[in-house]
Amino acid sequence: MGQAVARLDLLVAGHVIVDRYLQVERLPEADRTVPVVRERVELGGTATNLARAAAQHGVRTGILSRIGEGFPASFLARLRNDGIDLRGLTTVRGTPTPTCTILEERSGTTRMLVQQGPMAPRGPLPLPGPWSRRFRWVHLGTGDPRSYVRFARAARQARQNVAFDPAQELMYRWDRGTFLEILPFAEVIFGNRAEIARATAWAGPGGVKALLARVPLIVRTEGAEGATAFYRGGSVHVRSRRPRHVRTFVGAGDSFRGGFYGGWFAGAPLRQCLAWGNRAALARIEKGPTEG
């Protein structure tokens, strides 16, 4: 008899990006110029940050994303060294790779400009191959809404669990109709205060209760205040410790999710999952991306 194929934990769909940081004393006003104090290039993106943080917590993680020409080979090597499954990472020739230019004040305030590259909408993306069904959970982050509705439906048909986490793209890539279309396939929705406020408004009258009628678990990040999980029997809040120093706030929310999944797949109680998430976000703020 053949051996059973081992299940993997988490397939993360979202952006794999080259982050270009330009640090300034203060962000420029309209029609004004300011000098760049320091610049650096780092491996980033919602899928990258989440997958790396989850892998560091022992989660068997894969990425589903598209990159273009010019993506550094050293970044691919770093993802492989992290133990992340890259079968779902596709290189699209003739297209610039996704890049995010981040203007960053010393205080930590940021402004971002994103080059979507092959992650921009150009018709529906193909469904991932049979290999993807080895993952128990699919985390749908940033990306093309119509394709993600199809991914969510296919994942549930394959008896996979689905988490929905559109991040800031909920504000400009999603509309209410497509948002409501994906909700029946989701078991968890992640977001910050503004994103969950938009989600609850689209879910209908009743606030969080209206959204919980459609999705069993809501995980809301709240910056320095920590995070709250809402479920149909109540809610749990866990405060976060203040950072001793700040390197960057970019990617802290993604790292929170990776830490949360570390507790989730370890079978920890919901309160402990939030605590793991807070610690992972804090490490990202204080240390930045892990370069190993």
Helix (H, G, I), strand (E, B) or coil at 66: strand
Buried residues in 243-262 as b, exposed as e (16+ CB within 10 A)? beeeebbbbbbbbbbbbbbb
User: pLDDT tens track of the chain, all 292 residues?
Assistant: 444 456 899 999 999 999 999 989 998 888 889 999 999 999 999 999 999 999 999 999 999 999 999 999 999 999 999 999 999 999 999 999 999 998 988 777 888 898 999 998 777 788 899 999 999 999 999 999 999 999 999 999 999 999 999 999 999 999 999 999 999 999 999 999 999 999 999 999 999 999 999 999 999 999 999 999 999 999 999 999 988 887 777 889 999 999 999 999 999 999 999 999 999 999 998 887 765 4
Q: Which of 21, 20, 19, 16 is nearest to 52 (CA)?
A: 16
Is there a domain that residue 104 lies in?
Answer: no
Cα–Cα distance between 161 and 189 in angstroms, integer? 12
Is there a domain that residue 39 lies in?
Answer: no
Provide the 10 A C-beta neighbour count for residue 108: 13
Is there a domain that residue 91 lies in?
Answer: yes
Is there a domain that residue 110 lies in?
Answer: no
Q: What is the pTM of this model?
A: 0.91
Cα–Cα distance between 92 and 114 in angstroms, integer? 17
Give the CATH number of the domain where residue 246 resides.
Answer: 3.40.1190.20
Is there a domain that residue 184 lies in?
Answer: yes
Is there a domain that residue 135 lies in?
Answer: yes
How many Cα atoms sit within 13 Å of 94 on the Cβ side? 0
Is there a domain that residue 113 lies in?
Answer: no
Burial class (CB in 10 A: 0-12, 13-18, 19+), 129: exposed
Is there a domain that residue 70 lies in?
Answer: yes
Range of the domain at 262: 8-16+44-96+120-287
Q: How many domains does the chain fold into? A: 1
